[in-house]
Structure 1
Amino acid sequence: MVPAYVGLGANLGDALATLRAAVAALQSLPGVAAARASAVYRTAPFDAAGPDFLNAVVRLECRHTAHELFEQLRAIEHAHGRQRPYRHAPRTLDLDLLLWGDAQISTADLIVPHPRMHQRAFVLVPLAELAPCVKIPGQGELAPLLATAAGQPIERTGERLY
């Protein structure tokens, strides 16, 4: 079993309901034995316009490969109407494979750790809730990364995903 962390975000439609449905879909994936979710956070779009995002992070225990999980994440996004008209476009659902154990993966379609996660409070804050001592391969410990993202506004909503 490999621990995997997935970032969730949505800012179109009923974002909270979509995130809850995405977590349910993640929990029901073949090869996933356990799932835990952070609280839900509200953030302004990063380098883009549009409504605020709801974000969270989920920790999974997986039996399959990172690429298999990545393909399953894409399928869940697609099932929730995800479109990619341009970079940083508003979205019904965004699922990012943040971490795959302590692996570093770089292929044409998948980069793990997610290449910008260490710069984004909307990833680091919910990740710290689930795994405060996690080390991000190639970036180091979480605490100093959180400090560098401290100026980015993020609000805990009080909502849970299950």
Structure 2
Amino acid sequence: MSRAVLSIGSNLGDRLAHLRSVLDGFGDRVLAVSAVYSTPPWGGVAQDDFLNAVVLADDPAFGCADWLCRGQELEQAAGRVRDVRWGARTLDVDVVWCAELRDGEPVACRSADPKLVLPHPRAHCRAFVLVPWLDVAPDAVLEVDGAPHPVAELLDRLDPAERAGVRRTELSMTGAAS
């Protein structure tokens, strides 16, 4: 069995519908979903703001690569085009963290495969990942440079402007505005 933290975002088309398609696409695997946040684009490419959220999911039959494969299938279904790195997109599904359950405890997976680096190598620098992650797992820990760090501490280390750019919306992943 594996558990995954998936960071999802959209800044093209019906952004909320694209995010909701991830919940539909993962179905019963979804354990929890964060609030929806509006965030400025990251990476220096001029574009519209994103809607972002984090999904916590698990599946007894999935390995870490399966989360990536399914996420990419959902991106393709949403018409994702990969023309510009960090450019605008209909849907982005990133596997931020993945763990296998051993004796009932999650043991974080590591991968240096260029297709799936785990834990995500830039997650600790991105408030748009850390803020919603804390919604679904307030005690989350992320390994950075081989050492475990509470996600809350990683968020506190970010520039205040980076944190302030992550704005909770009234949008809901499960229906009308909350």
Equivalent positions of 1:26-65 (< 5 A) are 26-27=26-27, 32=29, 34-46=30-42, 47-63=44-60, 64-65=62-63
Q: Which has the larger radius of gyration?
A: 2
Measured after TM superposition, the shift of residue 2 of structure 1 is: 2.1
Counterpart of 1:137 in 2: which secondary structure? strand
The aligned residue for residue 3 of structure 1 is: 3
The aligned residue for residue 119 of structure 2 is: 113
Equivalent positions of 1:62-81 (< 5 A) are 62-63=59-60, 64-81=62-79
The aligned residue for residue 158 of structure 1 is: 170
String of CA shifts for 1:38-75, please: whole Å, max 9, x gaps.
Answer: 00000110122111100000000122111122111111
| Structure with the higher fraction of residues in strand conformation | 2
In the alignment, structure 1 segments of 5+ residues that lack a partner are: none
Whole-angstrom distance in 2 between the partners of 1:21 and 1:71: 15
Counterpart of 1:4 in 2: which secondary structure? strand
Q: What is the alpha-carbon root mean square deviation over aligned residues?
A: 1.3
Runs of 4+ in 1 over 6 A off after TM superposition: none
Counterpart of 2:97 in 1: which secondary structure? strand
Question: Does the 8 A contact of 1:38 with 1:160 survive in 2?
Answer: no
Counterpart of 1:127 in 2: which secondary structure? helix
Question: Does the 8 A contact of 2:10 with 2:18 survive in 1?
Answer: yes
The aligned residue for residue 157 of structure 2 is: 148
Measured after TM superposition, the shift of residue 160 of structure 1 is: 1.7
Counterpart of 2:65 in 1: which secondary structure? helix
Whole-angstrom distance in 2 between the partners of 1:107 and 1:118: 19
Measured after TM superposition, the shift of residue 151 of structure 1 is: 2.4
Measured after TM superposition, the shift of residue 24 of structure 1 is: 1.0
The aligned residue for residue 103 of structure 2 is: none
- Partner letter of residue 45 of structure 1? P
Question: Does the 8 A contact of 2:4 with 2:67 survive in 1?
Answer: no
Measured after TM superposition, the shift of residue 108 of structure 1 is: 2.5
Measured after TM superposition, the shift of residue 35 of structure 1 is: 2.6
- Percent identity, please: 35
Whole-angstrom distance in 2 between the partners of 1:74 and 1:48: 22
Whole-angstrom distance in 1 between the partners of 2:92 and 2:9: 5
Whole-angstrom distance in 2 between the partners of 1:52 and 1:144: 25
Question: Does the 8 A contact of 2:33 with 2:136 survive in 1?
Answer: yes
Question: Does the 8 A contact of 2:10 with 2:19 survive in 1?
Answer: yes
**What is the count of residue pairs matched by the alignment?**
158
Question: Does the 8 A contact of 2:2 with 2:64 survive in 1?
Answer: no
